[in-house]
Structures are given as structure tokens and as C-alpha cells.
């Protein structure tokens, strides 16, 4: 391992980046966004965004990271454009916000391991009470943040890589088995229909904004996480194909999560799909149901294993979120990694407290808190921070990163970096598309989406 550390192999980087991407965003976030976005129409928009817009941004982030071997802020300095390092700073800010609420959800999921061990499938009905018990779920969150800080304090290469290698395939296999089982339940087909047959009349502007935010969030884009991870990539690795593989893996796992949840909602609702739009509690209410359906010791074992794997998936994501501020603090402010990890993790946990208590424990943070409009509905603090970070800052970050790479750092430099380790890239269709997407398509679309999202979500003004 060099001074900064490198991933020990190409597979190591892909696994770590996929580990960052695959997390609660796929299994918790995606199904609830699909449910709220009216089903398959959301899925279609989401897929389009992932492949034609987000994939080019991912390639760009990794290339900037590998070229400079720096953190999200240092990368801009290193290329000679100090004025642009505010993009990295904004990224660090959004990473801190995301981790602050992400860890709350991770705490819920962590607590579910123990509920499943105890065979307490009826937790589904008590979920509202469960998240109100902030001392209990807060302690789980505290432990989760502690483990994240511990992994990050050890440095990026060792822990992340090894864990991802074993656990991600296990998670995928387990999800496939659960999907198979869910399909056998009565009314599963109604769920599938909701999930896979688009009704484009449901395509409102807010579906578009949320799909964009979800795509960025799920792919870990727009805040320099992949600049940071890219800085640990070897020069002879193929960025273009690695990013494609990471995108496919992430999207594939999100789609699997939907295949798991929607047939189940079909079953639970007797085919009406009522409850599909219930929001952030969705998987916590539906999944225990399926483990209860399996029942007995087998149900408990399956449930325990599932939530354990989910927590590992979340951990590889929280690690990447914390790594962004830490690598900045370590590189630029010369604070020791171990010390930095514990201090920053503590601060982020504290910032997360309103998100923790805003689920029924504190009225103020639950609904009365905000003037946040999202279509005129008062909302809780956690959803507010999610809308601010995921749907607003991440697309803006992606917009600026793409614009920066194509027009400030310049396309030919980006292309040079991408061609390294990618024989056949130059002159290919992929190159032409990436040039177009990074230079024009992504910056323009993302700028428009950013403006519309801000107006709509925070000022209640709908243009489209
Ligand atoms: N992508 C992760 C998930 O889906 C969350 C995440 C990790 C993230 N690192 C990130 C989101 C960086 C945005 C930016 O669970």
C-alpha cells in the first residue's frame, strides 16, 4: 500500500465503489420512491437517468480522482483550478448531511437484526412506536456510526475490499431467493404489474425530480465520493468499463429490491397496492411480513440474515460517505486519520439527532418543523434533509463536475485520462457519447432540474 493506499486490484476498486453505491439507497430508498412515484413510470425514468446521465458523471468523477490522486477538494486544486474547489466543499457538506440521516436509517435496520433473531415479525405493526423509541434506535445508530468510524480510521483499502467481496454476492443470492418466494404469494402479480407496467399519466414533475435525486443518491454521485475513491485506482484500470459495471450492479440490485417488495405489497393489500406509497417506513413494514410468512425458525433465520446483510451493505456506504470528509481533512488539514475519523463521526452523529427524533418523538422535527413545501406538504426533518442533499445538492454537484471537466479542465484532458487503461476507447462510440453527455447534455439537463427542483420543493412553485 502506497502513502495514500491503493485498491489491491481492479476487482478491489469495483467492489469498493459498488459497495459504496449499493446500500440503503437501493433496498430502502428505491422501493419507497417507486411506491410514492406511482410505480413503473418512476422506474422507467429512473433507468433512463442512471444510464444516460449518471453514468457519464460517474466516469468523470473517477477520472478526476485518478488523475489527481486527491480528495474531493484537493483534486480541483491539483488540476490548477482552486476557484473550483467549492464544488468539492459543497460535496463534503452534502456528504455530511447524507450520512447524518443515513445513519439513522442504518440504526433502524441494525435494530431489526435483533427483532428478527427474536422472531418478532409483528414489529411491522409497531414500526411507528419502534422509531419513536429514540433512545433505543439512537443507540443502534450510535453503534453503527462507531463501526463506520472504526473502518475509516483503519484506511480505505483493507476492510472495505474484503468485506464487499464476500457479502455482496451473498446479498444478491439471498434477494433472488426472496424474490422467488414472494412470487408464490397470492396477489403477487398485482404488485408486479404496479412495478413493471408503466402508467405514464402518473409522471408528474415531482416524479422526475425525485427520480433524479434517487439516481444520484443510489450511485453515490455528485459529491466527490467517487473522486475520492477514484484517487485510489490504478493507472492501468479501465475506468469506462468499471463505471459501467458499477452502474449495472447498483441498478440491478435496486431492481431486485423492487421485485422483492412489490409482489409482497400486492399480497398484503389483497391486490389493491394500498400502502405502496407509505414512504420511508416501507421496507421496515413489508419485509417482516415476508419473514413472518415463511414463519418459525426458518423465518427468523432468513430475517436475521437479510437484515445483517443489509447492514453490511449500508456499512460499505457509510464508510464511503465518511471517507469523503476524512480524506479531505487528512490530506489538506494534516490531521491524523484515526483522530479525524472519530471527531468527524461524532459531529455527524450530532447533526443527525433532529433526523433521529423527527419521527414522532419530537413534534417540532416531525412535521411542524419546516416550511419545506414538496408539493405543499409539511414534512419531517429527515425527509427535508434528504430533499436538500439528494434531490438538490447532488444533481447540482453532478452538473458542476461535468461542466468543470469538459469546459474548464477540458475535454481532451478528460479523454486522455479515460483512454489510459481503456484500449479502443479513442474513436469509439462510447467516447463520442461521453463527450456529448459530459460537455452538454448532463450540465444542461442537470442545471434545469436543479432550478426546477429548488423552486418546487422549497418554494412551492411549479413551472412544468
Ligand atoms: N449510494 C449509497 C446508497 O445507495 C449511499 C451513498 C454512499 C452515497 N456514498 C454516497 C450517496 C455518496 C451519495 C454520495 O445507499
Residue 219 CA to ligand 1 centre (angstroms) = 6
Residue 320 CA to ligand 1 centre (angstroms) = 8
Total-model pTM:
0.94
| Max intra-chain CA distance, the chain | 62
Of the chain, the percentage scoring pLDDT greater than 70 comes to 94
pLDDT band at 419 (very low <50, low <70, confident <90, very high): very high
Is the predicted pLDDT of residue 219 greater than 80, yes or no?
Answer: yes
Residue 227 CA to ligand 1 centre (angstroms) = 13
Ligand 1 closest atom vs CA 222: 14
In the chain, domain spans: 10-360
- 351-384 pLDDT per residue, tens: 999 999 988 888 878 875 555 555 555 678 898 8
What does the pLDDT average to over 282-288? 95
| For ligand 1, atom 12: residue with the closest CA | 220
Residue 240 CA to ligand 1 centre (angstroms) = 20
| For ligand 1, atom 2: residue with the closest CA | 21
Provide residues with CB under 6 Å of ligand 1: 20-21, 23-26, 98, 217-218, 220, 223, 225, 317, 320-321
Residue 211 CA to ligand 1 centre (angstroms) = 15
Ligand 1 closest atom vs CA 28: 15
Is the predicted pLDDT of residue 158 greater than 70, yes or no?
Answer: no
Residue 55 CA to ligand 1 centre (angstroms) = 15
What does the pLDDT average to over 397-406? 98
- 54-72 pLDDT per residue, tens: 999 999 999 999 999 999 9
| For ligand 1, atom 11: residue with the closest CA | 220
CATH topology for 10-360 is Hydantoin permease (1.10.4160)
Amino acid at each position: 500500500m502506497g502513502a495514500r493506499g491503493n485498491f489491491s486490484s481492479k476487482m478491489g476498486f469495483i467492489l469498493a465503489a459498488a459497495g459504496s453505491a449499493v446500500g440503503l439507497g437501493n433496498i430502502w430508498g428505491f422501493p419507497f420512491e417507486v411506491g410514492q412515484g406511482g410505480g413503473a413510470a418512476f422506474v422507467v425514468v429512473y433507468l433512463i437517468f442512471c444510464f444516460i446521465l449518471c453514468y457519464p458523471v460517474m466516469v468523470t468523477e473517477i477520472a478526476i480522482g485518478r488523475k489527481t490522486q486527491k480528495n474531493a477538494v484537493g483534486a480541483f486544486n491539483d488540476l490548477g483550478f482552486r476557484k473550483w474547489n467549492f464544488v468539492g466543499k459543497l460535496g463534503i457538506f452534502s456528504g455530511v448531511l447524507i450520512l447524518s440521516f443515513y445513519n439513522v436509517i442504518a440504526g433502524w435496520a441494525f435494530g431489526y437484526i435483533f427483532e428478527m433473531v427474536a422472531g418478532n415479525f409483528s414489529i411491522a405493526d409497531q414500526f411507528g412506536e419502534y422509531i419513536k423509541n429514540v433512545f433505543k434506535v439512537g443507540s443502534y445508530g450510535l453503534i453503527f456510526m462507531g463501526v463506520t468510524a472504526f473502518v475509516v480510521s483503519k484506511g480505505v483499502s483493507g476492510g472495505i475490499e474484503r468485506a464487499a467481496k464476500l457479502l455482496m454476492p451473498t446479498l444478491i443470492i439471498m434477494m433472488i431467493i426472496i424474490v422467488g418466494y414472494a412470487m408464490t404469494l397470492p396477489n403477487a402479480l398485482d404488485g408486479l404489474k404496479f412495478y413493471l407496467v408503466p402508467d405514464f399519466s402518473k409522471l408528474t414533475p415531482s416524479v422526475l425530480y425525485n427520480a433524479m435525486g434517487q439516481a444520484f443518491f443510489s450511485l453515490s454521485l455528485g459529491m466527490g465520493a467517487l473522486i475520492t475513491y477514484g484517487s485510489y485506482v490504478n493507472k492501468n484500470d479501465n475506468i469506462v468499463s468499471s463505471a459501467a459495471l458499477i452502474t449495472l450492479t447498483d441498478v440491478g440490485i435496486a431492481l431486485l429490491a423492487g421485485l422483492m417488495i412489490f409482489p409482497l405489497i400486492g399480497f398484503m393489500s389483497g391486490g389493491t397496492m394500498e400502502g405502496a406509497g407509505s414512504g420511508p417506513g416501507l421496507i421496515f413494514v413489508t419485509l417482516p411480513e415476508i419473514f413472518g410468512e415463511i414463519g418459525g425458525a426458518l423465518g427468523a433465520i432468513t430475517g436475521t440474515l437479510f437484515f445483517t446483510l443489509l447492514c453490511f451493505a449500508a456499512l460499505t456506504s457509510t464508510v464511503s460517505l465518511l471517507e469523503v470528509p476524512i480524506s479531505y481533512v487528512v490530506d489538506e488539514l494534516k490531521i491524523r486519520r484515526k483522530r479525524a475519523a472519530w471527531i468527524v463521526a461524532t459531529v455527524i452523529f450530532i447533526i443527525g439527532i433532529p433526523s433521529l427524533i423527527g419521527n414522532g418523538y419530537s413534534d417540532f422535527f416531525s412535521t411542524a418543523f419546516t416550511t419545506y413545501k414538496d408539493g405543499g406538504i409539511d414534512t419531517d426533518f429527515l425527509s427535508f434533509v434528504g430533499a436538500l442533499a439528494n434531490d438538490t445538492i447532488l444533481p447540482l454537484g453532478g452538473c458542476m463536475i461535468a461542466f468543470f471537466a469538459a469546459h474548464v479542465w477540458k475535454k481532451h484532458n478528460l479523454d486522455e485520462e479515460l483512454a489510459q487503461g481503456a484500449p479502443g476507447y479513442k474513436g469509439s462510440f462510447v467516447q463520442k457519447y461521453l463527450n456529448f453527455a459530459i460537455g452538454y447534455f448532463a450540465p444542461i439537463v442537470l442545471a434545469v432540474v436543479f432550478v426546477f427542483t429548488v423552486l418546487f420543493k422549497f418554494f412551492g412553485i411549479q413551472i412544468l
